[in-house]
Amino acid sequence: MPQIDSCHELRQEILQLLRAQMQALEEPSRLSDVELAACYRRQEKVGELRDQLFVALNQQAAPAQDCGDLSSAPIPSGPGNNPAIQAAAGM
């Protein structure tokens, strides 16, 4: 389960960075240039980690789709051109 651990670690790092952001921004008028630059770096890092988490979660979902898991399969919006469905629907 290295993927799950990786996702958990990414989430924990994102939360840690966001907590630091919240603390720094409690009184934004008192931020020095150095602190403001650190906020921007944290913001960029959160974006990078979010992208990594997105990729990791998609990799977890991909095997389920390959194994015939239909829980995320698209549901057709209507009968379309399938005559059997149209007949069953009384069209």
Whether 39 and 31 have beta carbons less than 8 Å apart is answered as: yes
Number of other residues whose CB lies within 10 A of the CB of residue 10? 20
Share of the chain above pLDDT 70, in %: 64
In a domain? residue 84: no
19-58 pLDDT, tens digit per residue, is 999 999 998 888 899 999 999 999 999 999 999 999 999 9
pTM of the model: 0.60
- How many domains in the chain? 1
In a domain? residue 19: yes
Angle, nearest 10°, between helix axes 2-24 and 33-66? 150
In a domain? residue 49: yes
Domain interval for residue 57? 2-66
